Structure 1
Amino acid sequence: MADQTSLSSAAHVYQRLVPQPVRSVAKTTVPGRVRRKVKRSLAQTLSRREARLHRRALRRVRKAELGGSERRTTAPDGRVGHVHTGLTFDLARRLDHELVTQALDAADIPWFAVPALDDRRIVLAVEQRDKGAVRRALRALLEEHTGYVVSVSPANSDTQNTPGSHVKAWKHFGKARVIRLNWLRTDPTENLWTGEDQGVEIEFWTVNTDLPQERLIGPRPNRVQRSVPRDAPGIEIGLDRLSGYCDIDGDMEPTITLEDFDIPRLEEITFPVDAVLLWQHATPWGEELLRAALRSLHQYAPWIDVVHVLAQAPVPPWLSPDARLSIVPAAPGAEWFLHQLPDIADNFLLLRPGALLGRPVRPFDYFTPHGGTRPRRGRWSAEESFAPWTHAAYSATGRVVAHGYAEGPQPYSCAALSRFTGTGTSPVQVFDGQGVTAVPGTHPMDGLIHHVGHMAGLADPSGEASVTLHAALPGLNQHLERLLVRRDTQQMQFYGLGDRRAQSQGGTKAVIRFLRRYYPVPSVFEVEGPKELDKQS
C-alpha cells in the first residue's frame, strides 16, 4: 500500500480511493463539472493538510535550535549561500551531517549511516515507511536553513536551483530511492565555496519479510553489504571511518551506524601521516608560499597528524610551534635525511616551496594501506634519461629508470629513505625551484628515492600528475584564473617566484594574489593574519 503520508497529487489520491471500474462508470455517467468539483475539493483538503503538517514539522525544527551560519549571501550562480568564518571542507561536511541528523531526531525518525561508495558525501539510511515524515522534516529544515535537494536515484537534478523549502523542489521525491541535500557555504571573503560536490544523501531502505528474520534492503550498492538485519544493533562510528576526507580528530560528535557496517574500508589508512615543509626563502614571497602550503594542508588534508617545518632560514614571526607543528633547524641538503627527524611518522608528505594541495585529498591518494607510497608519474624526455639522478638510480638498484615523477606534494616513507641510505649511493645535488628560469624536470630526490622504493616494493607509482606553472610564464594570469574558477586540480607546483624576470613582469605578485584568493581561510598554525605584500625586489 502506498505511504499515506507522502506528498501526492489530488489525481493520485483520487485514483487510490476510487476503484478503476467505478472511475470508468463515473467518466460516462457523472457530468464533468461534478468530477472537477470533487477533485478541486480533494486538492484543497490535501493542501490544507500538507500545510498543517509542514507547520508542525517547522515548529519541531525551530524548537531543536539547530546550528546556523553567521549570515547569508548570494552565490555566483544566484543561489543562497551561508557564510562561516574559518570554513573548511571537513567542517562543511560535519555541519551538513549535524543539521540532517538533528532534524531527523527532532521528528523521531530512526536513521543510520551507510559506508557509501563515494567518499565525498555522508550517506544516511531511513526506512521506506518513513519517507513522508522524512520529506516534511527535511523540507522544514531547508526552510529554516536554506539549502537544495535533488533526486540521485533515479538521477534528476532539474531542481538543484530551487530552494528545498519550495514544494516544487520535491516533485521527484515520490519516485526517488536516494535524494541529496546540500548547502552552499563560503568564508567571509567569498572566495572559497563548498557544497557542490558534498552534501548528505538519504537512502530509503525497504523491509524484506521473506526470511524468518526481517532484513533491510538498500536501494544501491555500498562498501559493505546491501542487506542487513532489521534489528541489528547501532554503534557509534567516527566520520573518518565513513569518509577518507575527514579529520580523524574532528570536534563534532560521532555518527551512528549498524554493527554490520563497522568493517574497515579497502582503502582505509589506519597509520598516522605527517607532513614536512621546507622553509628556505626568508622573503615576502617565500612567506606567502609557506603560508599557502600550511593553509592547503589545513583545508584539504585535515587528516595530517603533525606538520614538521624544516627551517633552513629564520622562521616568520607568525609561525609558532605547538602540539601539531614542530620547527626543526636544518642545513641545506637535510631533506635527504628526513627519516632521521625526531618523532617523524613512518609515512609523510613532503612539500617543497611552491608545492600545494588544490582540492580535498585522502591518505589513500598518496599511500597504500600496507604503508607503501603512491608517487605521481611525470613527463619523460631524452634529457631526463641522461640526468644525474637517473644514473644514481641505476647504480643504486641495477635497474634503469623508465619514467619521471611529477611535481607537487610528494609521498615519502622512512623505509624507502632508509633503503636508499643502505645502498651507499651518494645524494644527488638538488636545485632551488624558486630560482630557476624555466620549469625543471623531475626533482633529483624524488626520482631517486621513488625509484629505489619502487624497486623494493615500497612505492606504487600512479598516473595523476600535477599542474606546474612558472611565475614568468606568458599568459600566467589566464592560467591562474582558470585554476581559481575550476578548483579541480589535486595538486599544484609553482616555480620561479625568485626569478628576476618573474618579479619584473609582475608574475610573482600575480601568483601571490592568486594564493590569497585560493587559500583565504587561515590555518591553525598561523598566529596572525597575512601582512600586505611588500614590494618585490
Structure 2
Amino acid sequence: MPVVTLYRRLQGRLPSWETTPRSALIREDASPLQAQRETLDLVCALLSGASVPYFCVRPLPGRPPAVAVPEDERTRAIAALARGGHPLVAARQPYGRQGARRAEAGRMRPLRRAAAILEDARVVRLAMFFASPSRTLTLGPEHGCDLEFWSREGDLLIAPRPNHACDAVPVDGEVVDGGEELFNPLVTPAQRMRAYPTRPEFTRRLVDDIAFPIDAVYTWVDGDDPAWRARRDRALRSSRPDLRLSELATTEARFTSRDELRFSLRSLTMYAPWINRVWIVTDGQTPRWLDTTHPMVTVVHHKEIFRDPSVLPVFNSHAIETQLHHIEGLSEHFLYLNDDFFLGRPLLPRTFFEGNGITRFFPSTVHVPFGAPELEDSPVHAAGMNNRRMLEDLSGRTLTQKLKHVPYALRRSLMYELEQRFAAEFDATSRSAFRTSSDISAVSSLAHYYGYLSGRAVPGSVEYTYVDLSLRKTPGKLRRMLAARRHDVFCLNDTAPTTPEQDALLARFLEAYFPTPSPFELT
C-alpha cells in the first residue's frame, strides 16, 4: 500500500475497538496512572460515604490496585457502588494486564445493571473508561481496580485469592493509612500523592520491594543544527587519513531528529511514571520544546562528563556512552535510552531491576559475528567483537548474542568498576570522534554481560519489536502497532534516509500513540 494512502487512513480512521466509548471521560492527562488513581479514589470514596468497612490490599505484580470488603458487607458495598451518576462499570472476572481488550470492554456492565454478576463473585473488576482529547488513547478495565470479598472464618478475614503480603487478617484488626505506592506499583514513595486505609500487614517493606530511586538517561543530538553540523564537518575533514570510517558511522540517518525525544519522554512518563529524574546528554544543544526549569529534567553538556574534555567534540555514541556514569547527581540505578526507544504499555520497575539491585538485560536472537573487528563494516558488530575479546580474556566465556534495542538497566558503581578494569579500552573509545572498529559498546552490551558473569545481572524478558523506518513494509506495521498496543518496548530506527511521506506518517503515529504531553514540555 502506498505510504501516502496509508497515512491518510491513519489520519482518518482507527481500528473499531480503539474508538472512544460513549461513557469515556476525556482527560488532558490521560494515562494508566491517572486512570487507576481516579478509579481507586472513586471506589474508596463511595464505600467511605456509605460507612462500608474496607481496606486496600497489596496486589501481585501485574494486577491493578485492590480493595477488600468483608463478605458480610457485600450487599451494602454493592448498593454504595451502584449509587449515583458515576460511570463505573463492572465485570465478574478480573483481567490480566493484557488480554483481549475487545472482550474486556464487551463484558463490562454499568453497576446498576450488574447485580447478577456481583451476587456471588469473589473478585470483581471495577473500571471507568477514559480517553485523551484526541481519542487515540483509550483506557478501560485493564487500568481499573479490583473489589475483593474476604470471607470470615472465626476471628479472621480470609483472602479470596493470593496477594503480595498475607492470606488472612484479624476481623477486628487495626486500620492504618498506607501510601499509594503499596497498592500501585507505578508509584514510588517519593511520588506519593495519596494514602489509603489498609491493614498493618500490608505496610511492611518486603524483601523484593524496589525502594531505591531509578533515573533515566538519554543521549540526544539535533542533526539539523547548523553549528553542530559545522563542528561535525570540521571533525571529518581533520580526521586521520589512515582512519577508515564506515559509511554507517557517518550517514545522515544517524543524526536525524524528528522530535522522537519528545515522544520517547511522553512514553516514559506515561508508562514508567516511577522514574525519579531524567538526564538528557547533548553537545550543548537543548530541544526547543523542553522546559529546562522542571525539577525532574536536566540537560547535561558533554564537557560536564568527559574525563578529558579536550577530546571534544565527539560524534560517536560509543564514546559518549563510556562517560554517562560521570553525570553529577545521577542515581546508582538508572536506565539508559536512545531517543528512538519508546515504551508501549505500562512497565514496572521490576522489569529492569530486582529488589536487591540486580539489573536485568534482554538478549536478542541476533548474533555478534565471529571474525576480526578491523575487517567488520558494521561498527556495532565490531564493538560487540571487542566486548567479546575483553570478556574472553577476563573469564574464558564467549558472548554470542547482541541485546535488544530496549532501555538498558545499569548501575553507576558497576560502570566505574568497568572503567577502572578496562581503562585503556574506555579511554580509546572516548577519544574516537566517530565510530571505528576499535570501539567498545559499554552500556549496550559490555556492562550487562560483565554484570552477569560477576553475579550482578540476570536475563529478563520483554515484548519488543524493531521498526526500520526506511522499509516499504513499515507503514503497515505502524498501523498494526497502534491498533494492538501489545509491545512493552519498541525502537523506531532508520538505516537509510526517509522520505517526507514516511516522516509525516511517523509524526502522525507518534502523536496518536502518545497524545498526552509529558510534564517536561513547554506549553
1:365 aligns with 2:354: no
- Structure number with greater CO (CA < 8 Å, separation at least 6) is 2
Q: CA deviation at 1:118?
A: 4.4
Contact 2:18 2:137 in 1 (8 A): no
**Letter in structure 1 aligned against 2:425:** S
Contact map agreement 1:81 1:186 (CA 8 A) in 2: yes
Q: Which residue of 1 aligns with 2:162?
A: 221
Q: In the alignment, what sits opposite 1:29? A: none
**Paired position in structure 2 for 1:193:** 138
Aligned to 1:66: none
The one of 270, 294, 301 aligned to 2:211: 270
Greater displacement, 247-256 / 262-271? 247-256
- What's the secondary structure of 1:296's corresponding residue? helix
Counterpart residue number, 1:33 = none
Map residues 174-193 of structure 1 onto 2, 5 A cutoff: 174-193=119-138
Q: Secondary structure at the match of 2:29?
A: coil
Q: Which AA in structure 2 matches 1:480? A: L
Structure 2 CA distance, aligned partners of 1:384 and 1:220?
51
Alignment of 1:471-490 (within 5 A): 471-490=469-488
> Is 1:243 the equivalent of 2:243?
no
Residue in structure 2 matched with residue 526 of structure 1 by the alignment: 521
Cα pair distance change 1:379/1:240, threshold 3 Å: same
CA contact (8 A) 1:282 1:315 kept: no
Is residue 330 of structure 2 the alignment partner of residue 344 of structure 1? yes
Letter in 1 for 2:512: R
Among 293, 305, 315, the residue aligned to 2:276: 305
Which secondary structure does the structure 1 equivalent of 2:279 belong to?
A: strand
Residue equivalent to 1:464: 462
Q: Classify the secondary structure of the residue corresponding to 1:171.
A: helix
Contact 1:301 1:360 in 2 (8 A): yes
**Contact residue 71 and residue 149 of structure 2 kept, 8 A:** yes
Displacement after TM superposition at 1:178 (Å): 1.2
Contact 2:410 2:443 (C-alpha < 8 Å) held by counterparts: no
Deviation at 1:165, TM superposition (A): 4.2
Seen in structure 2, the aligned counterparts of structure 1 residues 171 and 507 have a Cα distance that, compared at 3 Å, is same
Gaps of 5+ in 1: 1-73, 436-441, 529-537
Query: How many matched pairs?
Result: 435
Post-superposition Cα deviations, 1:195-241, rounded to whole Å, max 9, x if no partner, equal: 231211111112222xxxx1111111212221111122112112212
The 1:518/1:178 distance shift into structure 2, 3 A limit, reads same
Distance (Å, rounded) in 1 between the aligned partners of 2:112 and 2:18: 19
**Distance across 2 between alignment mates of 1:92 and 1:154:** 16
Give the CA deviation at 1:275: 0.4
Asked if residue 426 in structure 1 is aligned to residue 421 in structure 2, the reply is no
Alignment of 1:248-267 (within 5 A): 248-250=189-191, 252-267=193-208
Corresponding residue for residue 108 of structure 1: 51
**Please, what TM-score do these two structures have when normalized by structure 1?**
0.75
Are residues 395 and 239 of structure 1, via their aligned partners in 2, closer, same or farther at CA, if it must alter by over 3 Å? Answer: same
Q: Which whole-Å CA distance do the structure 1 matches of 2:146 and 2:74 have between them?
A: 14
Q: Percent identity?
A: 24
8 A contact 1:75–1:81 mirrored in 2 = no
SS in 1 for 2:483: helix
Unaligned 5+ segments in structure 2 are 1-16, 97-102, 226-255, 303-312, 373-380
1:236-279: per-residue Cα shift (whole Å, max 9, x none)? 11221223222544464211110122233454211000000111
1:75–1:136 Cα change, 3 Å: farther
Change (3 A) 1:382 1:368: closer
After superposition, where does 1:44-193 map in structure 2 within 5 Å? 76=19, 78=21, 80-141=23-84, 144-152=85-93, 160-161=106-107, 163-167=109-113, 169-193=114-138
The alpha-carbon deviation at position 77 of structure 1 amounts to: 7.1
Q: Secondary structure at the match of 1:426?
A: helix
Letter in 1 for 2:408: Q
CA deviation after TM superposition for structure 1 residue 402, in Å: 3.5
Which letter maps to 2:37? R
1:395-430 alpha-carbon deviations (Å, 9 max, x no partner): 243321142211021111112211211222514869
RMSD: 2.7
Preserved contact between residue 91 and residue 108 of structure 2 (Cα < 8 Å): no
* Aligned residue type for 1:96: T
Indicate conservation of the 8 Å contact 1:238/1:254, yes or no: yes
| CA shift digits 1:437-474 (9 cap, x unpaired) | xxxxx966411221122212221122335211111112
Matches of residues 473-512 of structure 1 in structure 2 within 5 Å? 473-496=471-494, 499-500=496-497, 502-503=498-499, 506-512=501-507
Alpha carbons of structure 1 residues 249 and 486: separation in structure 2 relative to 1, 3 Å: farther
**Would the aligned equivalents of 1:477 and 1:510 in 2 still touch at CA under 8 Å?**
yes
Larger displacement relative to structure 2 (453-462 or 77-86): 77-86
Matched, 1:325 2:325: no
| Distance in 2, Cα, partners of 1:351 & 1:306 | 13
**Is the partner of 2:259 in helix, strand or coil?**
helix
Letter of the 2:122 counterpart: R
Q: Name the counterpart of 1:22.
A: none
Name the structure 2 match of 1:516. Answer: 511
Task: Kindly provide the amino acid, as one letter, of the partner of residue 298 in structure 2.
Answer: S
Cα deviation, 1:282-321, whole Å, max 9, x if unaligned, reads 4496251110111111101111111001012521222132
Q: What is the CA–CA distance in structure 2 between the aligned matches of 1:103 and 1:237, rounded to whole Å?
A: 19
Partners of 1:148 and 1:160 within 8 A in 2:
no
SS in 2 for 1:469: strand
Hey, what's the Cα distance between the residues in 2 that align with 1:527 and 1:503? Answer: 28
Post-superposition offset of 1:193: 1.4
Does structure 1 retain, via aligned residues, the 8 Å contact 2:369–2:385? no
Counterparts of 1:299 and 1:357, CA distance in 2: 8
TM-superposed CA distance for 1:357, in Å, is 1.1
- 1:204 has 2:202 as partner: no
Q: Is contact 1:280-1:313 (8 Å) kept?
A: no
